[in-house]
Amino acid sequence: MKKIAFAAAVFAFAAVAHAAPATEASIRELMETTGARANMASSLQNLAKALPQILRMRAETMVRNNPKLNDDQRKAELANVERRMPIVTAALQKDLNDPKLVDELYNQVVPLYARHFTQEDVKALTAFYRSPTGKKSLEVMPVLMGESAQAAQKLVQDRAKRIVEQTK
């Protein structure tokens, strides 16, 4: 009986050790394998490009919808927005393309992975993404996802159009 209890205890311990949380080093290795740094940097760059345009649109809408302004004032305010745009664009470019920002993101994503994946998981993930097929799927999947979303949109659109036209 003692023997069995001992074996059970060892087994339980082994099970716990088995599910050890992933180490920081192994998570960083996984992230390097999946190209996380380059992905983060490119998302930040996209953000830096998109934000000035959103800001401009908002500022212009605010000026246009302001009932207190007359046409001349409106024109002057719009010119003002235009004049300030290069400043904000440059500021955003500088702040969002900062390598330190990527480091900061990286440091926060490591604990996120540690919370969800065990050491064994991380090793298996790294092994898959290092294999030729894993590597290829990393490259191809984003493109494929984009194309499949487009295809889905088109299908839904065609069907909806047909139905709306039938009910005319």
Partner 1 sequence: MKKIVVALIASFALVQGAVAADQAPAPANAAAVRELLDAMNYRTMWKASMDQMSKTMPDLMRQQVEASVKADTSMNDAQRREALLKMEAELPKMTEVLSGVLSDPGLMVEMEGEMIALYSRYFTADELKQIAAYYRTPVGMKSMQLMPQVMAESMAIGQRVTMPRIQKAMEQFRKK
In the complex, the residues that contact partner 1 under the rule CB under 8 A are 40, 43-44, 47, 51, 55, 84, 87-88, 91-92, 95-96, 98, 101, 104-105, 108-109, 112-113, 116-117, 120-121, 124-125, 128, 131, 133-134, 136-137, 140, 143-144, 147-148, 150-157, 159-161, 163-165, 167-168
**Which residues have C-beta within 8 Å of that of residue 47, sequence separation ≥ 6?**
96
Looking at the Cβ atoms of 9 and 53, the one nearer to partner 1 is 53
Residue 86 to residue 155: CA distance in whole angstroms: 41
Q: Give me the least distance between CB of 2 and partner 1, in Å please.
A: 33
Q: What angle do CA 47, 82, 101 make, to 5 degrees?
A: 25
Q: Write the CB contacts of 48 (distance below 8 Å, at least 6 apart in sequence).
A: 92, 93, 95, 96, 97
Q: Which is nearer to partner 1, 6 or 66 (CB)?
A: 66
Q: Minimal distance in Å, beta carbon 75 to partner 1?
A: 18
Closer CB to partner 1, 63 or 96, in the complex = 96
Enclosing H/E stretch for 132: helix 132-166
> Distance between CA atoms of 90 and 155, rounded to whole angstroms?
41
For partner 1, give the closer residue by CB, 69 or 97. Answer: 97
Is residue 40 a contact partner of residue 143, using CB atoms and an 8 Å limit? no
Measured between alpha carbons, how far is 69 from 116 in angstroms, rounded to an integer? 54
Q: How far is the CB of 11 from partner 1 (least distance, A)?
A: 19
Query: In the complex with partner 1, which residue's Cβ is closer, 75 or 154?
Result: 154
Closest CB 6 distance from partner 1, rounded Å: 28
Least distance to partner 1 from the beta carbon of 99, Å?
Answer: 13
